[in-house]
Structure 1
């Protein structure tokens, strides 16, 4: 199985320099489940894309501090690429920015979180399970770091999970698109440093809530099990 990780993270601060990039994070996460697969990171943030959507068996679109509503050329090109992936029914997973980019590219709407930042560990309740979500966890705790969210779904999308801060916490389209607003790939040390960085501009009560939440344990590894089974689904 050949998996392309489409790197959308535009952060070039000390935070990113002190931690593996998102491509490496997803490699660590997925390779624990499927060490024999081939994983390649493609820096879409630098406007680099596969020559063809058929170059890989599946795609993961990472998070990013950029907004899917930004006018950057690479974001417009990503939306075009997502539309090609959809037409070809190529298995595609989006996380946070990737989740939002898929929604926006296919006719949905993304905007500011009405309830403010989602930050720290949040539990998503899964009220619907599709074939690859096995075992069918009713709830998963995942890291969150987002000030925007999907406000309107694209046509044909089905909400799989939600919580108070992100009513569209996860969705699917057919058998070829699977998304999460959250971050299965993030590690505790990265999240701790991220909260310290965003404390400069995020309300103190949000920071306190985030730090308190991190006494719990995120379950990204369980979500990763769903991810690999999604890619393996017969189509």
Structure 2
């Protein structure tokens, strides 16, 4: 399989340069489950896009500190590519910003979280598991202040908790998303919390630090992602 990674992360700080880029994070997360897969990376925030998506077995839209409501010129092009992939039947997976971008591009809405920043390890309930998912709760790493507030047409919520009613959604077997970050490992989220400690409310940082006693179910979520792509690729 060939799965395009659309890297949306706009962080070019010294902190970002000291850690693997998102394309590398996603390859490291998924390649052990599919050693023969190809994961070409396109830095869409720099204007680098695949010419067409029809040659891919799937597309991943990554997280980003950017907002889907920003005015940067690469965003309308990304939304257009998401719609192109959806209309062509190319499976789409989105995480955090990617989840929001897919929702917005396909007619949903994104707004600020009523409770402000969500940071650290969170637990969300699998409310309506897709065929490639397990039931029950799942822990994931979070770093967001916006969330999907209206679903695209035909979408079904798969995961939710009290603070985030749309923790993930599917559209048939062609779209799968999460508000969270399956690509982040425990070392990175811990470092990110410390990097942002002076920039976020003290209570947010304290709660994020305390939450790290629980680790994310990254292996489980990676398996879901690859099973999502495989069920379409056959």
TM range (shorter): over 0.9
For 1:208 and 1:27, the matched residues in 2 are separated by: 31
Preserved contact between residue 158 and residue 167 of structure 2 (Cα < 8 Å): yes
Match of residue 164 from structure 2: 166
Match of residue 62 from structure 2: 62
Match of residue 93 from structure 1: 93
For 2:81 and 2:169, the matched residues in 1 are separated by: 19
TM-score (norm 1): 0.97
Match of residue 125 from structure 1: 125
Structure 1 runs of 4+ aligned residues shifted over 4 Å read none
Residue pairs, 1:36-55, within 5 angstroms = 36-55=36-55
Task: Tell me the C-alpha RMSD between the 2 structures.
Answer: 1.0
2:195 to 194, 197, 206: 197
For 1:115 and 1:167, the matched residues in 2 are separated by: 12
For 1:37 and 1:180, the matched residues in 2 are separated by: 22
For 2:114 and 2:30, the matched residues in 1 are separated by: 32
- After TM superposition, give the deviation of residue 18 of structure 1 in Å: 1.0
User: Unpaired runs of 5+ in structure 1?
Assistant: none
For 2:89 and 2:132, the matched residues in 1 are separated by: 16
User: Unpaired runs of 5+ in structure 2?
Assistant: none
> Aligned pair count?
233
Q: Secondary structure at the match of 1:32?
A: helix
- After TM superposition, give the deviation of residue 130 of structure 1 in Å: 1.5
Match of residue 209 from structure 1: 207
Preserved contact between residue 15 and residue 193 of structure 1 (Cα < 8 Å): no
For 1:46 and 1:120, the matched residues in 2 are separated by: 28
Q: Deviations over 1:14-71 (max 9, x none)?
A: 2211110111001000012111111111110111111111121111100000000001
Which segment is superposed worse, 177-186 or 123-132? 123-132
For 1:234 and 1:141, the matched residues in 2 are separated by: 26
Q: Secondary structure at the match of 2:206?
A: helix
Q: Secondary structure at the match of 1:39?
A: coil
Q: Deviations over 1:92-126 (max 9, x none)?
A: 10000000000010111111111111100001100
Preserved contact between residue 120 and residue 212 of structure 2 (Cα < 8 Å): yes
Preserved contact between residue 8 and residue 44 of structure 1 (Cα < 8 Å): yes
For 2:232 and 2:40, the matched residues in 1 are separated by: 22
- After TM superposition, give the deviation of residue 129 of structure 1 in Å: 1.1
For 1:165 and 1:89, the matched residues in 2 are separated by: 32
Match of residue 141 from structure 2: 143
